[in-house]
Chain A
Amino acid sequence: MPTVDLSVTSLRELNQALHEQSDPGNDRHWIVKNPKGQHALAAGVDAELDIDIEGHVGYYCAGMNKQAKITVHGNAGVGVAENMMSGVVHVKGDASQSAGATGRGGLLIIDGNASARCGISMKGIDIVVKGDIGHMSAFMGQAGRLVVFGDAGEALGDSLYEARIYVRGAVTSLGADCVEKPMEDKHREELAALIDAAGATGEVDIGEFRRYGSARSLYNFKVDNVSAY
């Protein structure tokens, strides 16, 4: 089990080593010590690795991740798992702004809270936040699902395309073209599966969630929508 101590090894050496693991062999499980808020940790990994980062990370940890399961045993800075393609990124603490931004696949789990713009421009990623999320989350969300156990800040789902949002707590306000939609059985099933994937089955009552999505009224330019552009 390779252990990389970032007080000795450089960020560059770590990422280079991780990028060379396309044939993981025996070294599937990596441990990274002393991350001390460094940026771009484990960015661009494309291998079935299990990477445990023992501490807080800076910006863009696990950026563009493919396949790997990356666990941050601490808090994450801006843009954790940005543009993730596949795999799982699990933040045990809180996450800063733009968590999972533009993500195209995979699952991002945040045990704590996520700040503003969580899931901004999401394109297929699934995000499960066990705490609250900040303002402008899922802005222009195109595809994928965002599940929030706590509350959501202002302008949730502004200019939303086809991303689907489930929030258990209060929503301060909905953004332009984002509306509440009825929860049907298929939505409850979808939600249950996401909560299960996040390893949180039984932690929350699915009946308490509400569903939000696009009203699709801004999909084409119309004079009557001018105030929303």
Chain B
Amino acid sequence: MTTAKIPTTVPRQSATFDDYTLSEIRRAAATGLYDIRGAGSKRKLPNFDDLLFLGASISRYPLEGYREKCGTDVVLGTRFAKKPIELKTPVTIAGMSFGSLSAQAKEALGRGASAMGTSTTTGDGGMTPEERGHSDKLVYQLLPSRYGMNPDDLRMADAIEVVVGQGAKPGGGGMLLGQKISERVAEMRTLPQGIDQRSACRHPDWTGPDDLEVKILELREITDWEKPIYVKIGATRPYYDTSLAVKSGADVVVLDGMQGGTAATQEVFIEHVGIPLLAAIRPAVQALQDLGMHRKVQLIVSGGIRNGADVAKALALGADAVAIGTAALVALGDNDPQWAEEYAALGSEAGAYDDWHEGRDPAGITTQDPELAKRLDPVAAGRRLRNYLAVLTLEAQTIARACGKSHLHNLEPEDLVATTIESAAMARVPLAGTGWIPGQGGF
């Protein structure tokens, strides 16, 4: 006698309650605290991959790859500063604090950037001599926390960046957890060692654009109008924020999209506040154009820039330069498979490791542990960053030449099409093969 087997369905995972979501619920239930992590947004967002360049053919002719020049230089701070910054490549290193990064990592960033004739930026923790010494051009951030802020460093800087917000956490303040508040970091920030530091989200002595204008005036007066003054904003309402930054007297606007990295922020903040860079550039450029300030006030954009195509696309949409954070750390050696076993021991894996706030980075970059930090050779890591910056520049030039441009800044939205309706609407370029730009032209 045979028993008929009743067919059963295979176990089915929920798309809503996926593995990650379930693990987060368990983690939250066990700890009662939100998840804090480093890096940027990890989910799929509309990005530059959804855009394509239209190379030259009969209606436009290309430039010869090796013979015909394609300029890459950019001058930042031409509006008011007596000493604007001249960069050889429009790829800058974004602000990342000493504290979140080791002194060796900061030095490597300076070395790599300087070798390529570009700038690097301090962060929420002040300026270190290593960083000043190894960076030919250093942008000094003025953040709400004002950790380490002082007029001598201000005068030693090549530009000043007033940080209003960051793409990973627009409207949020900095965080540095106790493990990373070493003696040196504590001293630079005037904080007790080992505390979980939360820095303010608003500046202590100004609120709103009218105050900001006066604050910028003060910074100019202190530095005798020499330094370019940047205003950095997290991408949320880029049209209005860019307009207000210009109105407040900025020389340069830095616009950071939601993919932008962070040293330590609540996961919920990283993934749910702010807009993707792709959606933010055109409104910002529009604001500059409406004010007659495009190319007079320079626009630097950041948040998920990975390769020369991203650089070229950002510039084609109207930016003057880009900034990189995460990619620069990866070039130094962050998340490198050579540390696979150690990432596994930390419950992560190479490529996914984002517990940068814990200070246990096997690659020795996002740490203050002297033993781990020693693993990073600043000279070799600086060399890798230099190489990577060279590739970004060469790739962007390759595309620009194919589009017939003798300078990266001659790239324009007309060189681009989009592969999705979303990206066409956000970047305000036609859907490939059509003349349709969703949201433009009356419907």
Interface residues of A in 191-229 (CB under 8 A from B): 219-221, 223, 226, 229
Cross-chain contact A79 with B31 (CB below 8 angstroms)? no
Q: Tell yes or no: A83 within 8 A of B by CB.
A: yes
Report which B residues bind A (CB closer than 8 A): 31-33, 145-146, 149-151, 154, 177-178, 189-192, 195-196, 198, 200, 204-206, 211, 214-215, 217-218, 221-225
> Does A142 touch B at the CB level, under 8 Å?
yes
User: A48-56, A119-127, A178-186: which one contacts chain B?
Assistant: A119-127
On whether the beta carbons of B222 and A221 are closer than 8 Å, the reply is: no
**Digit string of A119-140 for contact with B (CB within 8 Å is 1, else 0)?**
0110110000000000000011
Query: What's the least CB distance linking A206 to chain B, in Å?
Result: 27
Known: A162-B192, A223-B32. A40 touches B221 (CB 8 A): yes
Q: Which chain A residue shows the least CB distance to B175? A: A221
CB of B200 within 8 A of CB of A223, answer: no
- Check if A120 sits within 8 Å of B151, measured CB to CB: no
Contact B195 A124, beta carbon cutoff 8 Å: no
Report yes or no: A59 in contact with B214, Cβ–Cβ below 8 A: yes
Top 10 A-B pairs ranked by shortest CB distance?
A44-B222, A223-B32, A79-B205, A40-B218, A98-B205, A64-B151, A102-B146, A219-B195, A60-B218, A120-B204
**A60 to B189 CA separation, bound complex (whole angstroms):** 22
Q: Which residues of chain B are near A58, meaning CB under 8 Å?
A: 214
Contact A104/B150 with A142-B190, A143-B190 known, Cβ cut-off 8 Å: yes
- Contact between B151 and A78 (Cβ–Cβ < 8 Å)? no
Q: Once the chains bind, are A121 and B218 in contact (CB under 8 Å)?
A: no
* A60, B192: Cβ atoms closer than 8 Å: no
Q: Which residues of B have CB within 8 Å of A89?
A: none
Residue A94 interfacial (CB < 8 Å): no
Main secondary structure of the interface of B (DSSP, over half): loop
Q: B150 contacts A85, CB within 8 Å?
A: yes
Selected interface stretch from A11-19, A26-34, A145-153, A164-172 = A11-19
- Cβ-based interface call for A43 (8 A): yes
Cβ distance A134 to chain B, nearest Cβ, rounded Å: 14
Complex Cα spacing A141 to B218, Å: 23
With A64-B154, A124-B190, A221-B196 already in contact, the answer to whether A117 and B204 are too (CB < 8 A) is: yes
Q: Which of A60, A97, A161 contacts B215 (CB 8 A)?
A: A60
Q: Between A and B, how many residue pairs show CB distances below 8 Å? A: 104
The 8 Å CB contact of A44, one of B31, B204, B214, B221, is B221
B218-A102 in contact (CB<8A): no
Interface size on A, residues (CB 8 A): 44
Q: List 27 A-B contacts (CB under 8 A).
A: A12-B221, A15-B221, A39-B214, A40-B218, A44-B221, A59-B218, A60-B215, A60-B218, A63-B222, A64-B154, A78-B205, A78-B206, A78-B211, A78-B214, A79-B206, A102-B146, A102-B149, A102-B204, A104-B149, A104-B150, A120-B204, A121-B146, A139-B204, A162-B192, A219-B196, A220-B178, A223-B31
B154 proximity list for chain A (CB < 8 A): 64
Task: Tell me which of A44, A60, A220 contacts B196 (CB under 8 A).
Answer: A220
A46 at interface, CB cutoff 8 A: yes
Q: Which of B150, B214, B221, B225 has the most CB of A within 10 A?
A: B221
Q: Check A226/B32 contact, CB under 8 A, given A43-B221, A121-B200.
A: yes
Least CB distance, B194 to chain A, in whole angstroms: 8
- B123, chain A: closest CB distance, angstroms: 17
Instruction: Known contacts A40-B217, A43-B218, A64-B222; decide if A120 and B205 are in contact (CB<8 Å).
Output: yes
In the assembled complex, the CB of A80 is this many whole angstroms from the nearest CB of chain B, namely 10
Complex Cα spacing A168 to B149, Å: 31
* B218 surroundings in chain A (CB, below 8 A): 39-40, 43, 59-60, 63
User: A82 at the A/B interface (Cβ < 8 Å)?
Assistant: yes
A15-B204 Cα distance, complex, nearest whole Å:
24
- Specify the chain B residue showing the minimal Cβ separation from A105: B150
A12 touches B225 (CB 8 A): yes
Q: Give the residue name and chain of the A residue nearest to B154 (CB).
A: A64
User: For B204, B206, B224, which residue has the most chain A Cβ atoms within 10 angstroms?
Assistant: B204
A229 to B201, CA, bound (A): 13
Closest approach, in angstroms, between the C-beta of A161 and any C-beta of chain B? 6
Take A64-B150, A102-B204, A120-B204 as given contacts and tell me if A43 and B32 are in contact as well, using a CB distance cutoff of 8 Å: no
Which residues of the partner chain B approach A66 to less than 8 Å between Cβ atoms? 151
Q: Which chain B residue lies CB-closest to A103?
A: B146
A223 to B154, CA, bound (A): 39
Residues of A contacting B146 in the complex (Cβ-Cβ under 8 angstroms): 83, 102, 121, 123
Q: How far is the CA of A52 from the CA of B435 in the complex (A)?
A: 67
A101 contacts the other chain (CB 8 A) = yes
| Chain B residues in 8 Å Cβ range of A123 | 146, 190
Q: A58-B214, A226-B32 are in contact. Are A101 and B205 (CB under 8 A)?
A: yes
A83–B222 Cα distance when bound, in Å, is 12
Q: Are A221 and B33 in contact (CB under 8 A)?
A: yes
Q: How far is the CB of A163 from chain B (nearest CB, A)?
A: 10
Q: A124-B190, A161-B192 are in contact. List 4 more A-B contacts (CB 8 A).
A: A39-B214, A64-B150, A83-B151, A101-B205
